[in-house]
């Protein structure tokens, strides 16, 4: 069964604004009003190193978005980063059919040109609802990956 998974990245002028909006989203996730698969704030320092400032604390699943977005700013690519973040190779077969080189390049360029980001993954309707709350974002990119969301979650749980 084929499905869709959205990956969204939103850029912010300051870490403080991103963390405020992350906290609001995290609250909605905690209340089960917004069932995102993953949510994080990434910050790039003056040397171009990207780190995780805040994440949703899904002990395994956070690698899905955090590892993937961190990899976008390196030549390794999205799949390798997602796999590294997951500490295993379970997502290779799940993601490969749904990602084009163009999608990887667009996401990578957006991440490369941003200093502070909120990144998230989830079902398209959930990510669309979350997008409406990103009122302080200076730029947003969202891509849909054709895949089976349950297969992604199962691979994440197995990793």
Residues 18 and 117: beta-carbon distance below 8 Å: yes
In whole angstroms, what separates CA 72 from the centre of its chain? Answer: 11
pLDDT in tens, 106-159: 777 887 888 899 988 888 999 999 999 999 999 999 888 776 656 666 665 665
CA–CA distance, 28 with 60 (Å, rounded to integer): 20
- Three-state secondary-structure class, residue 135: coil
Is pLDDT of 90 > 60?
no
Q: Which residues on neighbouring strands pair with residue 10, listed in sequence order?
A: 118, 140
DSSP, res 46: T
Q: What is the pTM of this model?
A: 0.76
Q: What's the mean per-residue pLDDT of the chain?
A: 75
pLDDT band, very low/low/confident/very high, at 49 (cuts 50, 70, 90): confident
pLDDT band, very low/low/confident/very high, at 92 (cuts 50, 70, 90): very low
CA–CA distance, 72 with 112 (Å, rounded to integer): 7
Largest CA distance in the chain: 44
Residue 42 has a pLDDT of 85
With CA atoms as reference, report the closest residue to 44 among 135, 141, 114, 121: 114
Considering only residues 55 and 116, tell me which one the structure prediction assigns the higher pLDDT.
116
Residue 84 has a pLDDT of 47
């Amino acid at each position: 069964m084929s499905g869709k998974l959205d990956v969204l990245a939103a850029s912010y002028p300051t870490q403080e604004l991103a963390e405020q909006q992350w906290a609001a989203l995290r609250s909605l996730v905690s209340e089960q009003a917004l069932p995102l698969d993953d949510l994080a704030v990434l910050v790039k320092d003056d040397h171009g190193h990207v780190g995780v400032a805040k994440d949703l604390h899904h002990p395994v699943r956070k690698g899905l978005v955090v590892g993937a977005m961190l990899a976008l700013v390196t030549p390794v690519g999205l799949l390798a980063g997602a796999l590294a973040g997951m500490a295993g190779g379970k997502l290779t077969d799940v993601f490969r059919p749904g990602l084009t080189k163009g999608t990887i390049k667009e996401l990578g360029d957006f991440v490369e040109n941003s200093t502070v980001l909120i990144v998230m993954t989830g079902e398209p309707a959930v990510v669309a609802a979350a997008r409406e709350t990103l009122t302080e974002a200076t730029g947003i990119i969202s891509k849909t990956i054709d895949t089976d969301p349950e297969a992604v979650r199962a691979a994440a749980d197995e990793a």
